Amino acid sequence: MEMVRRKEAAVGLRPRGILSGFLVIVPGSKGLLTFIPPAADKASPFLFRARLHPDITTYGCVLSAYRNKGELVIEDALVWREDPVFYCKSFPERWALVSRFFDCVKNDPELQGVSLVPAVYRLPSTISTPDAHSVVEWVPFEANQRRLILVPVAVPTNAVTQAKPVTAPTAKPGTSPTVKPGPQSRDEVVARKDPVGPDVYQLWRGTTSLGQALVRTLSVSKALRLSTAESIPVSVAFHKGFSKWEVVGVL
């Protein structure tokens, strides 16, 4: 997180729950572009045509992109002119290649049903608070660095004062806490998987949202992953340092 403190990153807002895929232009493809969606989408590649500059068709490229309704949002350059730029060039250098890509391509949204658009990045100090349908994305300037997805969650005041921590049963040494099926009681807290990423859960007490769960131990993480229940009964305690409810056990 040192990068975040030094603000050596570009920051943007992206739709919540939408993962990135790849936009591929194969050398010699003569105007054929292929979007490969993320594996989680379980969707087939999408092919469409555009007018491309010879500099693109000769050497090809691979870009990081995600599809949002009728737009294909280009967010990074991964391979350019057969050079794996993600591993050796900074993000500002890669973004300059994305800009060059848009100078070399012309597509017809009405004909193809999709419009190519660049992602929008800002300085960390100018980013706005996301709504319930967006997340904050930090893109490190340094080469070969994964993006950070931040999901700001405000803990409701009434949840902090009224939610009752549930005491977890003592597990035998060498075993993981077990999940007990059954209906949710009024005071029972449950964790529900958030599609935004792995090990991300939302906590609920009845119809009251307690926000995003804090998971800090491998045993709890393993127990949550092993559960097949949609609503997983858990014991929680409020962590003042993180201002979040921490899952301390799986019931």
- Pick the closest to residue 220 from 194, 246, 190 (CA basis): 246
Residue 220 or 74, more confident: 74
| Residues 212, 105 share a domain | no
* Full residue range of the structural domain in which residue 39 is found: 2-150
- The pLDDT-based confidence of 85 (bands split at 50, 70, 90) is very high
Dihedral (CA of 79, 83, 89, 95) sign = negative
Give SS3 for 144: coil
| Residues 184, 135 share a domain | no
Residue 174 has pLDDT above 70, yes or no: no
Which of residues 102, 119, 150 is at a domain's end? 150
Residue 193 or 169, more confident: 193
Q: CB–CB of 234/192 below 8 Å?
A: no
Task: Give the number of domains in the chain.
Answer: 2
pLDDT at 89: 95
| Residues 44, 137 share a domain | yes
Question: Does the predicted TM-score (pTM) go above 0.95?
Answer: no
| Residues 222, 100 share a domain | no
| Residues 110, 46 share a domain | yes
Q: Supply 226's token pair.
A: 């092993």
Which of residues 125, 150, 175 is at a domain's end? 150
Q: What is the 3-state secondary structure (H, E, C) of 77-112?
A: EEEECCECHHHHCCHHHHHHHHHHHHHHEECCHHHH
| Residues 119, 73 share a domain | yes
Mean pLDDT of 159-167: 46
Residue 72 has pLDDT above 90, yes or no: yes
29-43, 100-114, 127-141, 160-174, range with the lowest pLDDT: 160-174
| Residues 85, 70 share a domain | yes
Which of residues 150, 173, 190 is at a domain's end? 150
| Residues 163, 136 share a domain | no
pLDDT at 196: 64
Domain of residue 27, CATH code: 3.30.470.30
